[in-house]
């Protein structure tokens, strides 16, 4: 892979029957927002808007290349992001262009709130994944490894991908219920800023965002929300009733706090969230 697209040594070009894996980590749309010359001024949404436009074009080039190589119908494509939108981008895009890359979620990159972690996850797999469908499964990028392993028939060792769950049934529309029992997340504050989500319940094992300092940054002060549970040392939200994490239920639902705190501590102690397979005797 080159910065501008596929090079001449793509596996499918010379050996179309041979399986291949391509991981393309594009720098767009990370800061600084410097779009290539041919994309500048195209969106009327500033440098960052132009950079997003360039990213879309790169994705289109990749998909077009799969078509040209004749492997598109037999290639699984996954598109996602490693975190929510960058602080500087959010502040300027909101102020200058009325665009909010984190909406409707609270927070942004570095935060433990949903805006720091919840990102799109798009999949194209002709003949396997039905176009236009969506899934309510709780998932993470850590699940890619177990999912790809299941697709190629590989068995993961117990000491590998300890937080990865197989989402293949969800991709194929054959999931009969929740696959992942809960999800662990961590803000930029390190091990002290962990959170856990189970269903619509989300528990943050810390006060505040866990990342950005909203009280110290002039650009972020306007985004501070009222404290609905003054004095609460931790946070609990129901993402179904308050998706913007606007009402802290820490004092109102202590039984949920206790359950999720125990589950989080258990995962920290064991170093994993995916259960170990039982060891079979020969």
Q: Which of 244, 219, 243, 206 is nearest to 87 (CA)?
A: 219
61 found inside a domain: no
Pair 146, 161: CB distance under 8 Å: yes
Whole-model pTM?
0.89
Band of residue 18 on the pLDDT scale cut at 50, 70, 90: confident
Write the CATH number for 201: 3.40.720.10
48 found inside a domain: no
Q: How many CA atoms lie within 13 A of 75 on its CB side?
A: 24
13 found inside a domain: no
208 found inside a domain: yes
> What is the C-alpha separation between 81 and 19, in angstroms, rounded?
24
Arithmetic mean of pLDDT, 35-50: 94
Pair 41, 51: CB distance under 8 Å: no
212 found inside a domain: yes
User: For residue 127, how many other CB atoms are within 10 A of its CB?
Assistant: 7
Residue that is written with structure tokens 């699940």 in the block: 143
Band of residue 279 on the pLDDT scale cut at 50, 70, 90: low
Counting the structural domains of the chain, the total is: 1
Band of residue 199 on the pLDDT scale cut at 50, 70, 90: very high
Q: Residue 280: its pLDDT value, please? A: 53
Q: Give residue 214's domain range.
A: 76-270
Q: Residue 27: its pLDDT value, please? A: 78
142 found inside a domain: yes
Q: Residue 26: its pLDDT value, please? A: 87
Band of residue 11 on the pLDDT scale cut at 50, 70, 90: low
277 found inside a domain: no
pLDDT digits (tens, 9 = 90+) for 106-127: 999 999 999 999 999 999 999 9
pLDDT above 90 covers what percent of the chain? 82
pLDDT digits (tens, 9 = 90+) for 153-197: 999 999 999 999 999 999 999 999 999 999 999 999 888 999 999
25 found inside a domain: no
Residue that is written with structure tokens 């239920």 in the block: 249
């Amino acid at each position: 892979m080159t910065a501008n697209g596929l090079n001449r040594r793509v596996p499918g070009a010379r050996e179309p029957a041979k399986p291949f894996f391509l991981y393309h980590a594009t720098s767009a749309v990370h800061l600084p927002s410097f779009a290539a010359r041919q994309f500048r001024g195209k969106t009327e949404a500033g440098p960052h808007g132009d950079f997003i436009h360039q990213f879309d074009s790169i994705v289109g080039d990749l998909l077009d290349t799969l078509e040209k190589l004749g492997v598109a119908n037999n290639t699984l494509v996954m598109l996602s992001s490693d975190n929510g939108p960058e602080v500087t981008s959010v502040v300027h895009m909101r102020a200058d262009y009325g665009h909010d890359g984190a909406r409707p979620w609270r927070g942004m990159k570095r935060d433990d709130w949903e805006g720091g972690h919840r990102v799109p996850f798009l999949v194209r797999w002709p003949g396997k994944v039905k176009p236009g469908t969506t899934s309510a499964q709780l998932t993470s990028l850590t699940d890619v490894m177990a999912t790809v392993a299941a697709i190629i028939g590989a068995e993961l060792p117990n000491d590998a991908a300890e937080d990865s769950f197989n989402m293949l049934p969800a991709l194929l529309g054959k999931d009969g219920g929740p696959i992942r029992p809960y999800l662990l997340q961590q803000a930029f504050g390190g091990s002290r800023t962990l959170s856990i989500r189970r269903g619509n319940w989300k528990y943050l094992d810390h006060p505040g965002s866990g990342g950005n300092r909203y009280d110290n940054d002039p650009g972020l002060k306007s985004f501070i929300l009222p404290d609905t549970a003054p004095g609460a040392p931790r946070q609990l939200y129901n993402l179904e009733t308050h998706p913007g994490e606007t009402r802290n239920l820490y004092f109102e639902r202590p039984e949920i706090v206790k359950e999720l705190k125990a589950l989080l501590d258990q995962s920290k102690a064991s170093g994993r969230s995916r259960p170990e397979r039982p060891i079979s005797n020969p």
